[in-house]
Structure 1
């Protein structure tokens, strides 16, 4: 089973999406968007940038967990990973986004 984007609407009316791996695990989450079209543009940006050299930036949180952000060509963050216990697990998460994002379908659950 391949990955998919789940587009959802938050209680405050804003939109967001998660990229799920084939096993259903969330591997990337977006920011909140005021408009549905903006969230859909964010999904397109993840698909395009997941294969771009230098698009991923790894970070370490204040509690020593590893995570990554995916940036668009303009430097804006378009998605952030979950927290990982190690750098190698974080690297695996990046590879999962690179493998799953480009061909992932969008499951619109925002209605």
Structure 2
């Protein structure tokens, strides 16, 4: 009977976390972000490779991150994606590598 009660307690705890928090996997690890509305949507989200279109699809998560004290999650994602975009633009302009110095 004690194992059953322990399982019930663990299940209730996991359901509480899933209903009230976003579990967000960012560049600095996994963090809990309080949800704005209590539901079972966006329980776990890996934002390490998010771009602007991904953030548009996860507006509730972005709003919850901005409302919490963890807005650095958005900033880290934005800076990384900006750097990747710039590298892709430079690669596109110069082909596979940078032009050789003539001299």
Q: Structure 2 length as normaliser, TM-score?
A: 0.30
Larger C-alpha radius of gyration, 1 or 2? 2
Q: Higher strand fraction: Structure 1 or Structure 2?
A: 1
Q: Structure 1 length as normaliser, TM-score?
A: 0.29
